[in-house]
Structure 1
């Protein structure tokens, strides 16, 4: 036994599409739209995503409803629709801190030594990991995601908050 998920089971525990509700999230400037598109591509390219309400594969539509991130999940064929709301309040601190460290990282690229850049990048990755673990905890019981998918989802959530 290898511990690998059988191919048909792996295919049913994944996202095949992610869209953003422009009415509630709004469009960003070209840089923001580019970052969002990359984050969505990365999520769809490789992910592990499952909800207890029904089998996948799934489509995910993200929107903002009353200051909460709404995960509107449907099965790929259009059957079954589930919405889970995620309060962004517990993520605000880590989003703020992550923005600050990313700003430091981009500033350091221009002027700092490779050692300084590496130290800042290690801190950035550590904070990204912390955010990913928090996101997994917040989704527990509603949406099952592996760590790498949580990282990709946090990247998208951060891109939704990014101000270019």
Structure 2
């Protein structure tokens, strides 16, 4: 990463573009849309994404859900196919459900709760988010190497796909 916090253009183990399959998602609340946009922006700004093998990036990633499976379609920056990984969503289902519930509470709290109540809910939300990110890293072990921040942002986007699915 560069000193300014953005991605180093010389770093090959990174994503330069993220696409969410439009057929897999539905438009949602402004809060959800905002979370999605922030996650994509932050992910492009700073990430570590390194598919296993002798693949040299940077990479583009297309996320989708196909037949209740999570699809990571990775291409090289010029669009040539690199690798595709298809993962079962079963290990993520409970944590995604928990994350949705706590996010609903958080978005409601922002509108009417005290700052200390909002902070307590947000701490819980971040904890569940970290748990989901850790599961994602474990599921991708040996396939794609990620750092925790990249896994967190990808988990947010996977949840965005799941809002319809």
TM-score, L = length of structure 2: 0.84
* Higher CA-based Rg: 1
Secondary structure, aligned partner of 1:77: coil
Shift of 1:81: 2.2
For residues 25 and 116 of structure 2, the distance between their equivalents in structure 1, rounded to whole angstroms, comes to 38
Matches within 5 A, 1:66-145: 66-145=67-146
Partner of 1:4: none
Instruction: List runs of 5+ in structure 1 lacking aligned partners.
Output: 1-6
Asked if 1:61 is matched to 2:62, the reply is yes
CA RMSD of aligned residues (A): 2.0
Structure 2, gaps ≥5 residues long: 1-7
Give the number of the structure with larger relative contact order, counting CA–CA contacts within 8 Å between residues 6 or more apart: 2
Matched residue pairs, number? 155
* Structure 2 residue 26 is matched with structure 1 residue 19: no
**Is the CA contact (8 Å cut-off) linking 2:20 and 2:161 kept in structure 1?**
no
The answer as to 2:159 corresponding to 1:158 is yes
Q: Is the 8 A contact 1:36 1:160 kept in 2?
A: no
If each structure's helix is expressed as a fraction of its own residues, which one has the higher value? 1
What TM-score, normalized to structure 1?
0.84
